[in-house]
Copies of this chain bind each other. A is one copy, B any other.
Amino acid sequence: MSLPPEALRYDVTPLGLHYTLSHFDIPALKPSHRLTVEGSVGRPRAFQVQELRALGEKTLRVTMECAGNGRAGMAPRYPSMPWTFGAVSTAEWTGVPLQALLDLARPASTAVEIAFHGADAGFDSGVEHRFARSLRMDEAADDVLVAWAMNGQPLAPQHGAPLRLVVPGWFGMASVKWLERIEVLERSFDGYQQLVGYRYKKQSGEKGAPVTHMKVKSLIVPPGIADWYTRRRLVERGSIEVEGRAWSGAGAAIARVEFGVDGAWRDAEVERQGARFAWQRWRAKWEAQPGEHELACRATDAGGALQPLEPDWNIGGMGNNAVQRLPVTVR
């Protein structure tokens, strides 16, 4: 499910409004579910939720976006979730740092990657598998959580109950839900979702570059009211404040947001970053004059990356961070 655009107004997305993208059925895991840590480790381990709690607890506010968010804006469009803009949300995740589990299991010095296996099973392009993703050892060391709570409540089934991975700054596919196995590897992980599924490909058959961190992006909270079916917006004339959200991957802060009206850009006011991995609010005044208008916004992150005006097309429709354009009618 998608975040309704007006719900961008909440700093933390309320329970049940956070977007979800699950490849397969929600598995029915028991409360006695055990997460194993195995592979190239000195001490294979298994943990239930309460045993993980005893290892220490950390809460991070994290903006998470689906790699396919914006796919509907790419043509030709890949036959997958036709997301427009709503596959992004922010939650407070509580869990134990992955590093604490690794410290107990003692990965071999020759380990190069860690694979995270979910309990959700199915087919994709004829390949039967459980959803699984991997991180390199250095990627796994940085603020990755094994989480059991979201917004202060036990994980809901659709968000990975009882345990999931949360990889801040990355697109959502890295944050494996229904986590049942952490496997330390002395080679690169070759699972479908790592090698085939989440890749930037320009041509069929090529390997493509891996999809990793979220790109710089911004969205508008649509002003005014909507038409039921078309969602076209109607705005009252006069001075209004338009607001929205902006974020980037890898914890990069947003340096600038520009608000566009009918192609003319001006600087918006950007709220200071409150949490390293969470989106920032932007605001701009607008003197709305009767007629048809196109609103837009574009963000630049601290690393200097700027949203493009047009999507950077790829076969799978991944990582579209092109500028949002919102037509509105002012009366």
Interface residues on A, range: 35 or more
Provide the bound-state CA to CA distance between A108 and B18, in Å.
45
Is there an interface contact between B24 and A228, defined as CB atoms closer than 8 Å? yes
A294 within 8 Å of B (CB atoms): no
Give the residue of B16, B26, B226, B229 whose beta carbon is less than 8 angstroms from that of A15: B16
Is there an interface contact between B4 and A228, defined as CB atoms closer than 8 Å? no
A315 within 8 Å of B (CB atoms): no
A234 within 8 Å of B (CB atoms): yes
Contact residues of A between 1 and 23, Cβ < 8 Å to B: 1-2, 4, 6-7, 9-10, 14-18, 22-23
Is there an interface contact between A122 and B225, defined as CB atoms closer than 8 Å? yes
Is there an interface contact between B23 and A7, defined as CB atoms closer than 8 Å? no
A291 within 8 Å of B (CB atoms): no
Is there an interface contact between A6 and B25, defined as CB atoms closer than 8 Å? yes
Provide the bound-state CA to CA distance between A23 and B6, in Å.
13
Give the residue of B9, B18, B153, B226 whose beta carbon is less than 8 angstroms from that of A24: B226
Provide the bound-state CA to CA distance between A22 and B123, in Å.
33
Interface centre among A9, A157, A228, A229 (most CB of B within 10 A): A228
Copies in the complex: 2
Q: Give the distance to chain B from A194, nearest Cβ to Cβ, in Å.
A: 15
Give the residue of B10, B16, B26, B225 whose beta carbon is less than 8 angstroms from that of A4: B26
Provide the bound-state CA to CA distance between A154 and B2, in Å.
22
Is there an interface contact between B123 and A156, defined as CB atoms closer than 8 Å? no
Instruction: Find chain B residues with CB under 8 A from A157 CB.
Output: 7, 10, 14, 17
Give the residue of B28, B226, B227 whose beta carbon is less than 8 angstroms from that of A9: B28
Instruction: Find chain B residues with CB under 8 A from A2 CB.
Output: 1
Known: A123-B225, A123-B227, A124-B227. A158 touches B24 (CB 8 A): no
Interface centre among A7, A28, A156, A226 (most CB of B within 10 A): A226
- Encoded as 1 (CB less than 8 Å from any B CB) or 0, chain A from 278 to 316 comes to 000000000000000000000000000000000000000
Instruction: Find chain B residues with CB under 8 A from A6 CB.
Output: 25-26, 28
Provide the bound-state CA to CA distance between A24 and B156, in Å.
26
Contact residues of A between 209 and 253, Cβ < 8 Å to B: 222, 225-229, 234
Instruction: Find chain B residues with CB under 8 A from A25 CB.
Output: 4, 6, 222, 225-226
The 10 nearest A-B residue pairs measured at CB: A16-B16, A1-B1, A124-B228, A6-B25, A123-B227, A122-B225, A122-B226, A16-B156, A23-B228, A121-B225
Q: Which residues of A come within 8 Å of B, CB atoms?
A: 1-2, 4, 6-7, 9-10, 14-18, 22-26, 28, 79-80, 121-125, 128, 153, 156-159, 222, 225-229, 234
Task: List 10 A-B pairs, Cβ < 8 Å.
Answer: A6-B28, A7-B158, A14-B157, A15-B153, A16-B156, A24-B225, A24-B226, A25-B225, A123-B226, A123-B228
